[in-house]
Amino acid sequence: MNIRDVAAAAGVSVATVSRVISPKSADQPIRPQTRQRVLDAIDKLGYRPNDLARALLHQRTSAVGLVVPDISNPYYPALVRGVEDTASTRGYRVVLCNTDRNVQKTTAYLDTLVKTRVDGIIIAGGSTTMPMLRDVLQPYRTKVVVVGRHRLEFPSVRVDNVAAVRDAVEYLIGLGHRRIGFIAGPLSSNTVQDRLEGYRQALRAAGVESPDELVREGDFQEQSGYDIARSLPDWPVRPTALVAANDRMAVGAMAALADAGLRVPDDVSLVGFDDVSLASYIRPALTTVSVPTYEMGQAAMEMLLEEFDEDAGGSLPDSRVLPTRLVVRDSCAEVPRP
């Protein structure tokens, strides 16, 4: 069924049907009896408007794309919810794309989103491969907001990862720790580079050496945290504390330490990052850096809406930095004495 069938069944013009099904139909000067005839015909015929055709006509789809690197990571559902809740208040739908941190997959998703004319795109994750995607987005005028620090010209929402990890390491130094290991995520990530820099800054400020042997690269998954911590008894320099670049690796590390016969925090103190819900339920409860993930999703969508309004004469939104805080629980203690 198409719009002409509806018009014929209701005994009205195609233009009248178009006004009735318009998102702004309440503002259209249509007699109630006529509107009802059109609605009855739509219901009887099972007509559904062609959203793509309407989008091409009005240059708007009321849809935004949200690109995340790993939806299985407990960090991202809260961010997705923040985006979706904010988008729905303005009548926007969210199209979620999971890239698995794969450049080709990310490029393909972005290409699909812009070609289906979404009104804007939010890209989450701090990969340094993001500049490669500029070529995908450049031919289009799609509005873009990024979550995390990127070397791109788009507005962004992020946290100060350098300061956040610096605070965590300073806390461990205050407990007497000097041999502090760092379980990093992929070193190609801007986010991981910032967290590693915060780790090194805190050690330098305290006059503590930070040998390369104390930094191990993971992949943000529990298994990598487990594998790294399981080998801890064989490290050339054995740390008394570990800082993980996210909570998933910290949880894996905690399991590995237990399997190696080491107690947290009596033998090894442990700090995570993100403060996912699991962090407060494992035992010992995990000391971690709390990130306002839901609020970051909200802020990203708000900035995208501001970009839409900028077309109507508003000002382009600035990048925003949201605060983090160290949540001290039970996984850290004073450095064990010989």
Residue pLDDT, tens place only, 267-323:
999 999 999 999 999 999 999 999 999 999 999 999 999 888 765 455 566 789 999
228/286 same-domain check: yes
Tell me the whole-structure pTM to 2 decimals.
Answer: 0.80
| Shared domain check, 107 and 178 | no
Same domain, 167 and 280: yes
Do 261 and 234 lie in a common domain?
yes
pLDDT per residue over 153-191, tens digit each? 788 899 999 999 999 999 999 999 999 999 999 998 889
Specify if 260 maps to a domain: yes
Q: Within this chain, do residues 241 and 272 fall inside the same structural domain, yes or no?
A: yes
CATH number, domain of 38, equals 1.10.260.40
For residues 196 and 93, state if they share a domain.
Answer: no
Would 54 be classed as within a structural domain?
A: no
The mean per-residue pLDDT over the stretch 61-82 comes to 92
- The fraction of the chain above a pLDDT of 90, given in percent, is 56
pLDDT value, residue 57: 47
Domain assignment present for 37: yes
Whether 281 contacts 317, CB under 8 Å: no
- Whether the pLDDT of residue 129 is over 90: the answer is no
Q: How far apart are CA 18 and CA 269, in angstroms?
A: 65
132 within a domain of the structure (yes/no):
yes
Domain harbouring 229, CATH code: 3.40.50.2300
The answer as to whether 335 is a domain residue is no
Q: Note whether 45 and 77 are same-domain residues.
A: no
Domain of 317? 62-159+293-323
Query: What digits encode the pLDDT tens for the residues 99-123?
Result: 988 888 888 898 889 888 899 999 9
* Number of structural domains in the chain: 3
Rounded distance between C-alpha atoms, residue 178 and residue 169, angstroms: 10
Judge whether 330 lies within some domain. no
User: How far is 15 from 34, CA to CA, in rounded Å?
Assistant: 12
Return the residue matching tokens 């442990």: 270
Task: Check whether residue 271 and residue 184 sit in a common domain.
Answer: yes
Examine residue 309 and state whether it is found in any structural domain, yes or no: yes
d(CA 140, CA 138) in angstroms, rounded, equals: 5
Q: What is the 3-state secondary structure (H, E, C) of the chain?
A: CCHHHHHHHHCCCHHHHHHHHCCCHHHCCCCHHHHHHHHHHHHHHCCCCCHHHHHHHHCCCCEEEEEECCCCCCHHHHHHHHHHHHHHHCCCEEEEEECCCCHHHHHHHHHHHHHCCCCEEEEECCECCHHHHHHHHCCCCCEEEEECCCCCCCCEEEECHHHHHHHHHHHHHHCCCCCEEEEECCCCEHHHHHHHHHHHHHHHHCCCCCCHHHEEECCCCHHHHHHHHHCHHHCCCCCCEEEECCHHHHHHHHHHHHHCCCCCCCCCEEEEEECCHHHHCCCCCCEEEECCHHHHHHHHHHHHHHHHHHCCCCCCCCCEEECCEEECCCCCCCCCCC
130 and 90, same structural domain? yes
Q: Give yes or no: residues 146 and 94 share one domain.
A: yes
Least confident of 50-59, 195-204, 240-249: 50-59
Contact 97, 67 (CB under 8 A): yes
Query: Do residues 151 and 182 both lie within one domain?
Result: no
Average pLDDT of the residues of the chain: 88
331 occurs within a structural domain: no
Shared domain check, 299 and 254: no
